[in-house]
Amino acid sequence: KKKRSEDVNVSHLTMLAAAIALREMPTLHGHFSLGRFCLCRKSSVDVSYLVPSDASSQGCSMRSILNVDTKPIEDLAREMKERVKSGEDPYKKRRNDFLAFIPTALKGPAEMFLDMLGSELGIDFPLLGVRRWPLGACIVVTAPSEGSDIDMTVVGSPTTSQHVPVAITVGGVRIHSSTKDKQIDNKLVLHMTAAIDLRCATAYEAKRLCERIQHLLCDPEAIDNN
């Protein structure tokens, strides 16, 4: 186990592994715009990290990190920590400030329009809280399994609402049983789920992407060397 300057967890490793894998497979690195898959114009990969909110808040806490594949894992962990400590996303704050001036009956349509500008058309308008492709090319979700006897997995098409072709859920640790030399071998394995929209990839390409992410996670030194 390599000693690191920052606390690195499996979610940080998953984000970096997914970003590296998408960089190596540029035909899967993109976004959905108006129902069509478009390749990303830049080579570096942006990844978002969605954390289920606690009981005192609503929805999910989103942290979008730019150029994840170019950052050392310690820098990624540090940036994630700073984003969480900083509180509300400045883009979200600007949008809420703008929507406060909109009549109540028009707030819903106005917010949908702002979402469309960033998520569908890739327009960046910071003054109104609109970010180009706000969730990047991949979402990493931590399933709400900590402290519970039930391991839940979030599965679904990530493009349904977020226009992101790849979503990865980091679940809980499970016992995997196998037979070896007529003996039952039990070992602990980390359960993960990947949802990949097959409008942007063939089943074979999706399998290759998952295999590459799995390889990187099994060998953290390979992540450090990329």
In this predicted structure, which of 11-25, 80-94, 152-166, 183-197 has the lowest mean pLDDT? 152-166
What is the average pLDDT across 174-182? 70
In a domain, 122, yes or no: no
- What is the rounded average pLDDT of the residues 181-210? 84
Residue 210 binned pLDDT confidence (cut-offs 50, 70, 90)? very high
Dist. CA 47–CA 134, nearest whole Å: 9
- State the chain's maximal CA–CA distance in angstroms: 71
Contact 45, 29 (CB under 8 A): yes
For 21-59, strand residue ranges (E) read 30-33, 36-39, 47-52
Of 2-16, 49-63, 67-81, 160-174, which one has max mean pLDDT?
Answer: 67-81
Domain count, the chain: 1
Q: Is the residue at 163 inside a domain?
A: yes
Task: For residue 142, tell me if it sits in a domain.
Answer: yes
Q: What is the pLDDT of residues 39-48, one digit of tens each?
A: 988 889 999 9
- Residue bearing the bigger pLDDT, 226 or 14: 14
The string of pLDDT tens digits covering residues 55-110 is 444 556 677 899 999 999 999 989 888 887 776 678 888 999 999 999 999 999 99
List the single range of 68-72, 84-88, 165-169, 204-208 with lowest mean pLDDT. Answer: 84-88
- Whether 34 contacts 107, CB under 8 Å: no
Q: Is residue 128 part of a domain?
A: no
pLDDT above 90 (res 146): no
The pLDDT value recorded for residue 19 is: 95
Q: Answer yes or no: is 18 within a domain.
A: yes
Half-sphere exposure of 181 (CA within 13 A, CB side): 1
Q: What is the DSSP letter of 117?
A: I
Say what the pLDDT of residue 148 is: 52
Give me the domain span that covers residue 27.
10-86+135-225
Question: Is there a domain that residue 40 lies in?
Answer: yes
- In this structure, is residue 105 part of a structural domain? no
Which residue in this structure is represented by tokens 């970003």?
19
> Please, are residues 170 and 190 in contact by the beta-carbon 8 Å criterion?
yes
Looking up residue 73, the CATH number of its domain turns out to be 3.30.559.10
Model pLDDT, residue 143: 67
* 109 vs 53 pLDDT, higher one: 109
162 found inside a domain: yes
Pairing of strands 138-142, 166-180: parallel
